[in-house]
Structure 1
Amino acid sequence: MINILLINLGCKLGIFKLLIKNNCFIYELKKQTNVKILKKIDGVFISNGPGNPFKYSKFYNVILFLIYIKVPTISICLGHQILGILNNFHFFKLKNGHHGVNHPIYNKYNKKIFISSQNHNFNLKNNKKKNFNNSYYSLFDNTIQSINSVFQPLFSFQGHPEGCAGPNDLISFFNFYNKIYE
């Protein structure tokens, strides 16, 4: 069993189900989270949610602290954007946004194409940071779809890999154990 601290920014029920299916016990971040919980967790999951990531700044210090103490962290969509901002990636609003269940994503390392569900209007700019790998790219507009720290256990994905009412090509994203210990 893996103990996960879920930073819930608007998490869908399908994400809870997939984390549980992948042997995770979920602690959900509340306004007054007990510090004792931090001693129990093996990893952090920053969820998706609506809107502009700057509206969620109340979570920034908690996330920065968890990054500082090197707790393995995985995030999707809005969580991906927040993780990028906190790691000094440039941030911008897309002209048309990415919406729909048929967004092609290219993994430059294994040269595979995946179909993902996307629903966002903001993205991170690829500023070629030496301490991050960007392995997934949108085939629509070449925007980065993931960031992966070289020095810390941080991985994020821009889309919705849970595929609830959509594609499930990236469902393995929820195998948290492999992400933490690979």
Structure 2
Amino acid sequence: MSYQKRKKAIILLADGTIFHGKSVGKEGSAFGEVCFNTGTTGYQEIFTDPSYYGQLMATTNAHIGNYGTLELEDESNSVKISGLICKNFSFDYSRAGGDSSLQNFFEKHNIMAISDVDTRALVSYIRDNGAMNAVISTEVDNIEDLKKQLAEVPNMEGLELASQVSTKEPYYFGNENATYKVAALDIGIKNNILRNMAKRDIYVKVFPYNSKFEELEAFQPDGYFLSNGPGDPEPLVEAQELAKEIIKRNLPLFGICLGHQVIALANGISTYKMHHGHRGINHPVKNLLTGKGEMTSQNHGFAINREETENNEDIEITHVHLNDHTVAGMRMKHKNCFSVQYHPEASPGPNDASYLFDQFLELVKN
């Protein structure tokens, strides 16, 4: 596609601020909460991560699409972002293993993207003013109508999205003759979480977001897992009840990201919407049990209340985020239950956090 033929496009934020760019291909409008990811690689994994459902993703890396896509690197069966905002979009790609250009990948999944945006200015604005709803659109002469449509988009706070990305029917992952079995609740699960369990001799059965404890128990698992996912954890009442039941019976339980927040809520710890969230692959976390630092992959717009966690006599904070001191991990003192706010399965170069799957395996074995 020639640079001259590309249509003008805009990003209209909920507060009326406008940023300008050019359409990458698909015309029209896409709505969602605008957020940014500071990762320099892994864009395909970001776009297909169910945790990003309903969000317009602004990437801070200057070049997006330059190494194409590879089907094996999808984190789910479809693109989950509402749309992409970037600086330089590469229509051609160079990579020995790539099987498609990013443009073809977006066309296949019917996703809108705009480029030639001053992403540095946009990200600075979000960082200062907070994440908010927005629209990306080629209808640059229709601002007032876009404002009306944008006003009707629900806010992320209070929004239940797990049902939009969860499996409709249970399914299995891994070797059915594996030594151990885990029942996983899919509230937005990533493929690489399942791969990490399978390579640790675990056979996983994945259940829909609203499954009851009895359904998971019927699989006769050795442990239970609550996955990552999108939206506000507070409306996920069924998942919280499930967590309470597992904890009450003192069965091995591990939670990642949204699953971590669900476990907190099951323990009476509240969650809140962050100003602009944590999204990137170089977030510094300190493990308070070992004193070691970890470079982590993070993707969340909600967090658990630190003061309430510290005051909960059943809970011990195990990890803290070193940028803003939010809770990055916790464990229950007298139960076989622990969770982290970040993504140990993402391994974007550092494998600092992959030990958490080994830790879960030890719980399952015992």
Aligned counterpart, 1:48: 228
Deviation at 1:135, TM superposition (A): 1.4
Deviation at 1:47, TM superposition (A): 0.6
Residues 17-42 of structure 1: CA deviation (Å, up to 9, x unaligned): 10100111112224566947515111
How far apart in 1 are the matches of 2:272 and 2:254? 21
Deviation at 1:181, TM superposition (A): 5.4
SS in 1 for 2:238: helix
Q: Relative contact order (alpha carbons < 8 A, sep ≥ 6): 1 or 2 greater?
A: 1
How far apart in 2 are the matches of 1:72 and 1:141? 30
Q: Which amino acid aligns with 1:88?
A: G
How far apart in 1 are the matches of 2:229 and 2:262? 11
Aligned counterpart, 1:173: 356
Aligned partner of 1:122 among 302, 308, 315? 302
Q: Relative to 1, partners in 2 of residues 1:94 and 1:35: Cα closer, same or farther, differing over 3 Å? A: closer
Q: 1:91-106, aligned counterparts within 5 Å?
A: 91-106=271-286
Say if 2:326 is the partner of 1:143.
yes
Deviation at 1:178, TM superposition (A): 1.6
Q: 1:32-71, aligned counterparts within 5 Å?
A: 35=214, 38=217, 40-71=220-251
Unaligned runs of 5+ in 1: none
Greater fraction of residues in strand? 1
Aligned counterpart, 1:12: 190
Q: Which amino acid aligns with 1:20?
A: A
How far apart in 2 are the matches of 1:91 and 1:52? 9
SS in 2 for 1:145: strand
Aligned partner of 2:263 among 83, 87, 96? 83
Q: Identify which range, 25-34 or 138-147, moves more after superposition.
A: 25-34
How far apart in 2 are the matches of 1:131 and 1:33? 25
Q: 1:150-161, aligned counterparts within 5 Å?
A: 150-161=333-344
Deviation at 1:95, TM superposition (A): 1.3
Aligned counterpart, 1:28: 206
Deviation at 1:13, TM superposition (A): 0.8
SS in 2 for 1:27: strand
Unaligned runs of 5+ in 2: 1-178
- Bigger-Rg structure (1/2): 2
Deviation at 1:125, TM superposition (A): 1.4
Q: Relative to 1, partners in 2 of residues 1:82 and 1:166: Cα closer, same or farther, differing over 3 Å? A: farther
Q: CA RMSD in A?
A: 2.0
Task: Among all aligned residue pairs of Structure 1 and Structure 2, give the percentage whose two residues are the same amino acid.
Answer: 28
In the superposition, the TM-score normalised over structure 2's length comes to 0.47
Deviation at 1:56, TM superposition (A): 2.4
Q: Identify which range, 17-26 or 56-65, moves more after superposition.
A: 56-65
In the superposition, the TM-score normalised over structure 1's length comes to 0.91
